[in-house]
Amino acid sequence: MSLINQMLQDLERRNAGVASPSRQPIPVQAAPGRRKRYWPVLLCLVLLALLLWQAQPWLLAWWQQYRTPAAPPPVAEPAPVAPPAAAPAEQHYHALHLLESTLSELPASPSIPATARRSSPSASNVNRPAKSEAGAVDSKPLTEGRGNSLKQFSPEQQSANQYRQAVDFLQQGRVAEAQALLSQALTADPRNHDARQMLVGLHLDNQRHVQAIALLQQGLQQDPKQTGFSMTLARLQLEAADLTGALVTMQQALPYAADDADYHGFYAALLQREGSHEAAAQHYLTALRTRPENASWLIGLGISWQASGKLADAREAYQRAQQDPGLSSQLAQFVDQRLKQINQRLR
């Protein structure tokens, strides 16, 4: 046992001598290359922080714009626009051109052959509707909102603006949109006679006579003084074989016609067609006082005087009509025939 103990002690001493040097701490040194790798990363972080600090105002503005919905752009306030007092020809060209188709030659009466048809007044000579109340648009709105709210316009102002926009649409060829605006203008102000006249013309151009007649009748209810509406309505009634209705229409507006030559000439032709030659002659004379050289009215006067037995007066009227250099060959031939009849009876 003592030997074994001695051997163990010897081994223990050997191991202690070998292990003691290894137990000393060995200093650990970082590799020289690894310490330098942190500097680029640190530099990038610093630069990034500087960039973010410089861009901070822009980023805040962008974020606010992104989070806050953009306000709608302010709508420009439309100024009330009134149609001119005397409507220029270019603005009324469409309506007047379309109305012309309803004021063509009158159908021949039983006593007048086709060659002697009296031309009814052209659209350019028809009494234009008096200046509508919508034409005089008050520059001040009905009410005025506060802040950025739009002004509220009176019905007359709204109707005038819609009429003006409809004129622009017609000039651009946008007929359907113009027609819709004209209807809205009349809804806002039924006394906007310019809008009514133009809408009537559009209906006539599309052969919508029923709608045109209704518009004209409504216009006359609003203002019986619109003799141009009366003449157009009477012409449409005559085309519908309603001579009685046409005469009633013209008779109702007669007090407002004054010395309107076209109105009296047209009314005389209707009376002549009915056979009321004495009354027709009186209205022909009224028309001729303004335009004494109108061959159509002179021929109409001659026909009524001849039918009334006033042959000498009829011959004079025919002879005056012959002096018109613009008399057509057919009318000239008709006048010659009538003069021969009168001369034979006066012998």
DSSP code, position 113: -
Domain check: are 98 and 204 in the same one? yes
Domain check: are 272 and 346 in the same one? yes
Determine, yes or no, domain membership for 305: yes
Determine, yes or no, domain membership for 18: no
Give me the CATH number covering residue 176.
1.25.40.10
Domain check: are 236 and 292 in the same one? no
CA dist 327 → 53, 157, 309, 319 (Å): 95, 48, 25, 12
Q: What's the domain count of the chain? A: 2
- The predicted pLDDT at position 141 comes to 39
DSSP code, position 105: B
pTM (2 d.p.):
0.58
Domain check: are 194 and 99 in the same one? yes
Distance CA 139, CA 105 (A): 44
Tokens of 261: 């030559």
φ, ψ dihedrals at 143, nearest 5°: -140, 155
- The predicted pLDDT at position 16 comes to 60
How does pLDDT run along the chain (347 residues), one tens digit per residue?
Answer: 566 667 667 767 766 655 454 455 545 455 555 555 677 777 777 777 777 777 777 676 666 665 555 544 444 444 444 444 334 333 333 333 333 333 344 433 323 233 233 333 333 333 333 334 333 334 333 444 444 455 788 999 999 999 999 999 999 999 999 999 999 999 999 999 999 999 999 999 999 999 999 999 999 999 999 999 999 999 999 999 999 999 999 999 999 999 999 999 999 999 999 999 999 999 999 999 999 999 999 999 999 999 999 999 999 999 999 999 999 999 999 999 999 999 999 88
Final residue of a domain: which of 229, 255, 281?
A: 255
- The predicted pLDDT at position 13 comes to 72
Determine, yes or no, domain membership for 4: no
Final residue of a domain: which of 225, 255, 285?
A: 255
Distance CA 171, CA 160 (A): 17
Determine, yes or no, domain membership for 47: no
- The predicted pLDDT at position 103 comes to 38
Domain check: are 238 and 175 in the same one? yes
Determine, yes or no, domain membership for 194: yes
- The predicted pLDDT at position 62 comes to 66
Domain check: are 197 and 344 in the same one? no
Determine, yes or no, domain membership for 298: yes
Q: Do the beta carbons of residue 130 and residue 194 sit within 8 Å?
A: no
**Residue-range definition of the domain harbouring residue 281:** 257-347
- The predicted pLDDT at position 253 comes to 96
